[in-house]
Amino acid sequence: MPFIVDCAMEQDLLTIITDPAFDRHDTGGGEHPEVPERLRVISEQLQKSHLAGRIRTLPTRPATREQLLAFHTEGWLFRFEESVLSGRTYIDHPDNQVCYESYDIATLSAGAGLVGVDAVEQHPGSVVFCQTRPPGHHAEPNQPYGFCFFNNCVIAARYWQQQYNRRRVCVFDFDAHHGNGIQTAFEEEAETSYISIHEHPSFSYPGTGWAEDKGLGDGFGTILNLPLPPGSGAEQVLRLFPKIRAFLDTIQPDALIIGAGFDAHRQDDMSGLAFTVDLYRRLGVFVRQLSQEYTQGRVLSILEGGYFLEKLGVCVEAYLSGLLENDTAQP
């Protein structure tokens, strides 16, 4: 899936971090929604879109054991690796399908965020998107959850802190499902923060992400959960933008990581939300504005969910188009 770029300005580039190896994470076919075709439809859509001439690709690299241990436990790394090498087809629950290569590919998925952080630091203000699988935001320190094995957003945040001393990293997650693993990582910390727009936990997996959850101890006030009732779309989401800005006024982040999930689309049966293609464009515009206002252009987007193949590619295109729109665009 190579792309060629002939444009001069780094700010005009769309950097995609991906790897053909992601196709080899085999989830068993059948009815499992997290399939290799997800990345293929995104690539095909971008190749034929108006963005094609602005795209460059970078290869990922595997996250090291030390980098994985910035969030995960040694016990989980051992259990994950042992499970795939022994030929198991899932871990803990049939949602978490694996094959012989899944451990190595999950380290590449986590590593994409590290390459992304490097790319953002080299060219602040450029648009960088990790087109990767398996996703990550449900993964807990010691177990897989909801198709996720390593928490890509958290591992990228730790790397940003350690490698570049961007201490105040904020993850903004608009996947249809709450990122329980990200909240676990950040909820007791004063420097990191988490914003999540998701379907209300009364109706949606994994049953976490209540508005009352604002963090614990030193981390109180660093979690902003914005649950939405089923059927919510643009009207409800746009009302949340002032709350997000007010939160960031207090947090004053150094860097933004976006958990870019596209399973809230109205035709994706993984949630009851009713997002549209245009709403994803408006989210892209909003994210660009936030990065300009708060983080001097330092923003990295990492793919999370999105399972309705007929619309996934155009949703991603719309979001990335919004990120690339000029400063006068309105969300």
SS in 3 state form for 168-218? Answer: CEEEEECCCCCCHHHHHHHCCCCCCEEEEEEECCCCCCCCCCCCCCCCCHH
pTM: 0.95
Structure token pair of residue 296: 């001097």
Question: Which 8-state DSSP code applies to residue 89?
Answer: S
d(Cα 109, Cα 135) in Å, to the nearest integer? 8
Structure token pair of residue 2: 């190579």
**Within the chain, what is the greatest distance between any pair of CA atoms?**
55
- Phi/psi at 159 (nearest 5 deg)? -65, -40
Is 7 a residue whose pLDDT tops 50? no
Is 5 a residue whose pLDDT tops 50? no
Residue with tokens 């994409």: 112
Is 121 a residue whose pLDDT tops 70? yes
pLDDT at 233: 98
d(Cα 84, Cα 98) in Å, to the nearest integer? 7
Stretch (H or E) spanning 55:
strand 55-59
More confident residue, 125 or 240: 240
Stretch (H or E) spanning 96:
strand 93-97
Select from 248, 234, 235, 236 the least CA-distant residue to 287. 248
Residue 30: which pLDDT band, with cuts at 50, 70 and 90?
Answer: confident
pLDDT at 6: 37
pLDDT at 329: 62
Q: Outline where the chain has alpha helix (H).
A: 37-47, 65-68, 74-85, 102-122, 152-164, 180-186, 234-238, 241-251, 277-294, 309-324
pLDDT at 12: 76
Amino acid at 23: D
What average pLDDT is seen over the chain? Answer: 95
pLDDT digits 0-9 by tens, 296-321: 999 999 999 999 999 999 999 999 99
Structure token pair of residue 48: 């034929």
pLDDT digits 0-9 by tens, 35-70: 999 999 999 999 999 999 999 999 999 999 999 999
CATH code of the region 10-324: 3.40.800.20
Structure token pair of residue 101: 């290569």
Q: Which residues form the catalytic set?
A: 138
Select from 329, 312, 229, 302 the least CA-distant residue to 45. 312
pLDDT at 152: 98
The answer to whether 239 touches 277, Cβ cutoff 8 Å, is no
The answer to whether 301 touches 35, Cβ cutoff 8 Å, is no
d(Cα 243, Cα 229) in Å, to the nearest integer? 17
As a dihedral over the C-alpha atoms of residue 60, residue 64, residue 70, residue 76, rounded to 10 degrees, the angle is 110
d(Cα 179, Cα 305) in Å, to the nearest integer? 11
Q: In sequence order, what are the beta bridge partners of 170?
A: 193, 256
pLDDT digits 0-9 by tens, 59-98: 999 999 999 999 999 999 999 999 999 999 999 999 999 9
Q: What percent of the chain has pLDDT over 90?
A: 92
pLDDT at 1: 34
